[in-house]
Structure formats: structure tokens, C-alpha cells
Amino acid sequence: MNKLFRLVTVSVAVMLIAALVVIPTSAQDQCCQGGIIVEGNLGGDPATMNPVLSSDTASSRVIGLMQVGFLGVDVDEAVIAPNRPGALVKDWTVSEDGLTYTFNLRDDLAWSDGTPITSADVAYAWEAIKLGAEGVLDVPGSYIIDPTGATGVLDVTFPDDYTVVVQMASAECTSLSYAGSLVVVPSHVLPEDISTLMDAEFNLNPTVTSGVFNFGELRPGEQVSLVGNPNYSDAELGVVNPTGYIYKSVPDQTVMVEQFLAGELNVIDGPAVARRQDIRNSDAQVYAYPGNAWDYMAFNQADPNNPQNAFDEAGNPIDQGHHPIFGDVRVRQAIAKAVDVDALVSAAVFNEGSRMTSFIIPASWAYNSDLPPVALDVEGAKALLAEAGWADSNGDGVLEATADAMYAEEGSELTFTLYTNQGNTRREAIGTLIQDQLSQIGFRVDFQTIDFNTLLDIMDSQTFDSIILGWRNGYPDDPDATQLFTPGSDVIPGGNNFTSYNNPRFTELNTQAKNVPGCDPLERAPFYHEMQAIMQEDLPYLWLFAQNGMYAAAAGMTGFDPRPSQLLWNIDTWALSTP
């Protein structure tokens, strides 16, 4: 007994001394002293932690913290840029014809198990993307392969360990962002038979990483935890500051704000608009920016009872008819004058929004800041409606079509259905306000909230009158309008130009803008400026607003320095002053 006791005491003493000696000499103990960052997660669990399979926000969030990306982003300019920390591509060259991009990779990056990161790790992802295009795997990046070969990426080759050559289908300026869908995966730990990738153990237990954090654990329904990576070579301060990062599930925005104010969370992204003032009034650090998600009210300009594609299979235009009310641009303009968008911003999002003047978000380099939004002018709206042949002939407060109306049957009421998706209180508020405001100038609006998928069905089949919905732009964002507003995308079902908007001048400008040689934003911008002015006249959508984004961090968090849509880009420098 005594012997054993002595043995234990001695070994404890030895270990203590060893620890005292080892700790100060280890360089790595500098790492990860900054405390644990806890962020609120309003979505579900990450579906996967495999970069090539990830499509949901939660997955992208944690993968971005654990793995280096293929292309880097300049967060100040919000454009894809060479030589960025945490990105594999060093720089690239473009061939004369603009079709071949040659990416040079860094040779100084390694996986957490010591294996160097090479082009083979991109090649694996490309093979998975190809299998995705064949329908074998669910790979979100497979959209870059167009079966017709008209757009997207044609082929990717890997001449040596540190070179990736991407063959584009066209020289359009959007090509570079297609290459951005390439990812880097640790091919040496993934299954050799790529068709079994969906069930790879790595997807839920990514033991091999390359980013700021290593994987900690996934507690389903609760949180994902990541642990600071002592070997991260791109750390701005030389070492990674945070001890760990936790992405914690919270049931809703209200509870998220409460947990943040109570200190259970120390970073939040997108708190409830109604509570933002409370956060500003607290001692928290706050960063607000015009968001990249924007709401609109879309007008179906074609006949909703006989929906048609813009072109037949041979490419000849099809007569799509006209919407009895919205087919006339003057009616759309009248609505734009009658709806008080500023009031919508104040009531629906407590002024936490930025007005859209046209189809490009204020945060974009293509945004035309000289173009003012459509001014509120209720009398002007009434005059336009009268000019378009609408008058209240029976005195019930709702206008009827006169013989002068362009597409409406004489005597028919100025009434339409307005849909939005259920469960979105902001859009419910917008719809309620628009319904009431338009009733003041003689519309009768049947406003309904419906299930999201049902709404998408109605939208895709182009049988609707009007819809309130929103788009979330990508990051970095390209202002290209091909999918949204050119007749080539006016396809049933599923084409994104579901309002059947067709303005040849706009389409031509769009084509010119995305084919500017060299793709310099400064040279492309003038085209988009003119396009925005056209859109403000044509109004396929009523331009509403982009809800502002907001990030907040606890008062004691140092290093918190977000950019629009970039909260955690420098997380390796973050630290809590009282960890």
C-alpha cells in the first residue's frame, strides 16, 4: 500500500515537472488561448462536412472554418482574388480567347495529417462533380456542367501537382465564378470508389482538415464544435487565437437574441429586426450592412391562363399573350408609384432595410448609385391608371376596365391575387401593407400566404398574377441577369424568368456586359447602369428592399471586423478578453 502510494506520488511529481518544463518551450501553446466562440445557428444541423457535397448554410459555415477553399475572395472588394489566405489558388492566367483558365496552386499547404495539398485533391472533387452531373451522386457543384455544353465548365485537367486547367464553354465574365464551385477535398482519406462518396465516414467525421479549426464533434440537434488548429499556416497573427468554435442550434430569432444578451452566445448573424435596437442599446459590438437577399413583387406579364415558353424548340418566339392587368406597363408603373416602399421598410423591418432601385443590390460594384428609387406619387399613380383605361364606373371603390384598357376585358375589375410563402413574417407584413396601399387607388388585392413548395409550383408553371418573394444573391456576386430577365430563361416549368419579361435592348446589353474582354468591373459597370434604368421603367418586378444584415459580437470579443456577408473571414484573430 505504502509502496503503491509512493509510486503514485513520484510519478505525479515527475509528470508535473515534465509539464512545467514542456509547456513554456512548446510553440503551439500560443495557439488557441482566445476562448470559445459560440455562434447561434437558426438552421438545422450541417447535412455534411464534405466540401464537395455541401449545399446548406450550416454545412458551408463549418466547412469554411475547417477547410481551405479553391479560390480566394478579397473581402474588401467582394471579388474573387489571387493570393488570399486560406485559398489553394495562388494566381491564374487566362488564354487569349478567354476560354482556358490556368490556375497555379500553392505548394506550401498541407492537410492536418501532414499530406501536402495538391491538384489531386481538386481532381477528386471534379470527378465527384462529373458523377453528380450523371445523377450518380448528389453534388450541388454539378450545376457547372451544362449538358448542352453552351455554358459552364467543359473540362478540368491536372497537368501537374500544382496546376489546374479549366476549360470554359464560353468566354463570359461569369466563367470565373463557375471555377469557384471547385473545392479541395482530402482525396487520400476519401473512398477510392467515388460513387460511394455519399456514405463516406469522412462526411460526418472530418478527421483530416486544413483550415483554422479541426473538427471537434457533432451533437445532432444541438451543436457542432470545432477546435483551434495549432498547425494552421495562414494565421494572420502566426497562431490561431480561438480555443474553439461552436455552432449552436437555437429555435428562433427571438430566443437567439435573448441567448446573446444573456451571454450564452457571443456571436450572432441576422438577429430579429424587431430586436436589433435592443442589441444596439446593449454593450455588444454591432455591424450592419445592406444584405444580399432582396424582396420583390413579381408581375406576370404574359397570359396566366395560357402559359407558354418564350421560344419554341427551334428558337422561334411564341405568342405568350398578355396579362389583362400587368400586361400594360402603365399599370405596373402606377403600382410602383402608389406603393410606399419606405413605409414598408419602416413597418416590416423597422428600417433595417435598403431600398432596391432596380435589380442590382446596393452592395454590388455594378450598383447604379445615381439612380434614385421610384418616388411615391399616389396622384400620379391614379392618373396613370386612368390613362391605362381603368375607372370606377360603379362607385364601389374598385376600378373597372373601360374600352381603352389594352388587354383587360371591358367591365372587368382591377383585381388580382398576390401570393407569398407562409412562415415569413416579413413578407406577410409586406403583402398586408401592399394590399392596403393598393386598395387606396382602386385595386382589390386578394393576398394569400401559401406553402413554399406550392408557391414554387405556381411560379414555375407561370399561372400566377403576382408573387412576393425574394432572391439571395451569391457571394461574391455577379450582376449577370441572364437567368432572371432574358427570354431564354422564360421556360415552363422552372425557368427563372417566370414573369415572361422580354426587352430586346435589355437582353442585348446583358450579353454585351458579360462578354467584356478582360471582365474588368469598371468596364462592365456602365452596361449594368443602363440596364438598371431600363428595369426601373419596365418593372417586371416591383423593386422592394434588401433587408440589412447584422452581425453582433460580445463586447469583449477582439478581432471582430466583418465585411458585408463576411462575418468570420478573420476568425483566426478573434479572442475573448475574458475567456
Which positions from 45 through 84 interact with another protein, judged by CB under 8 A? Answer: 45, 47-48, 53, 55-56
The answer to the question of residue 296 lying near another protein (CB under 8 A) is no
Least separation in angstroms between residue 327's CB and another protein is 24
Question: Site for another protein (CB under 8 A): how many residues?
Answer: 92
For another protein, the closer CB: 383 or 429: 429
For another protein, the closer CB: 171 or 349: 349
Least separation in angstroms between residue 134's CB and another protein is 9
In b/e form, how buried is each residue of 320-358, taking b as 16+ CB within 10 angstroms? bbbbbbbbbbbbbbbbbbbbbbeebbeebbeebbbbbbb
d(CA 112, CA 127): 23
d(CA 86, CA 92): 16
With cell 467525421, the residue in question is 205
* All residues at 6 or more sequence positions from 281 whose CB lies less than 8 Å from its CB, including other chains: none
Strands (E), 220-321: 223-228, 244-249, 267-269, 285-289, 293-299
The answer to the question of residue 274 lying near another protein (CB under 8 A) is yes
Residue from 201, 312, 451, 520 in contact with another protein (CB under 8 A): 451
Please tell me whether residue 424 adopts helix, strand or coil conformation.
coil
Least separation in angstroms between residue 437's CB and another protein is 7
Compute the C-alpha angle 172/177/179, nearest 5°: 100
Residue 225: strand pairing partners: 217, 246
105 and 113 Cβ atoms separated by less than 8 Å? no
The answer to the question of residue 244 lying near another protein (CB under 8 A) is yes
Ramachandran assignment for 208, one of left (phi > 0), alpha (psi -120 to 50 degrees), beta (any other): beta
* All residues at 6 or more sequence positions from 568 whose CB lies less than 8 Å from its CB, including other chains: 61, 64, 65
For another protein, the closer CB: 214 or 285: 214
For another protein, the closer CB: 187 or 253: 253
d(CA 91, CA 157): 17
For another protein, the closer CB: 238 or 494: 494
Contacts of another protein in 395-434 (CB under 8 A): 422-423, 425, 428-429, 431-433
Least separation in angstroms between residue 197's CB and another protein is 11
d(CA 272, CA 314): 50
Least separation in angstroms between residue 108's CB and another protein is 28
For another protein, the closer CB: 336 or 418: 418
Least separation in angstroms between residue 91's CB and another protein is 26
For another protein, the closer CB: 401 or 414: 414
Cell of 120: 489531386
* All residues at 6 or more sequence positions from 203 whose CB lies less than 8 Å from its CB, including other chains: 48, 49, 50, 53, 197
Least separation in angstroms between residue 309's CB and another protein is 10
* All residues at 6 or more sequence positions from 52 whose CB lies less than 8 Å from its CB, including other chains: 124, 125, 128, 129, 139, 141, 183, 185, 197
Residue from 489, 499, 532, 570 in contact with another protein (CB under 8 A): 489
For another protein, the closer CB: 55 or 83: 55
Contacts of another protein in 137-196 (CB under 8 A): 138, 142-143, 146-148, 151
Pick the stretch among 115-123, 153-161, 465-473, 534-542 that binds another protein (CB under 8 A).
465-473
The answer to the question of residue 496 lying near another protein (CB under 8 A) is yes
Least separation in angstroms between residue 318's CB and another protein is 16
Cell of 41: 445557428
Would you give the binding string for another protein spanning residues 468-487, x where CB under 8 A is met? ---xxxx-----x--xx---
The answer to the question of residue 203 lying near another protein (CB under 8 A) is yes
Least separation in angstroms between residue 41's CB and another protein is 10
For another protein, the closer CB: 340 or 377: 340
Contacts of another protein in 17-36 (CB under 8 A): 36
Please tell me whether residue 388 adopts helix, strand or coil conformation.
coil
d(CA 187, CA 333): 55
For another protein, the closer CB: 215 or 407: 215
Would you give the binding string for another protein spanning residues 337-376, x where CB under 8 A is met? ---x--xx-xxx----------------------------
Residue 190: DSSP 8-state: S
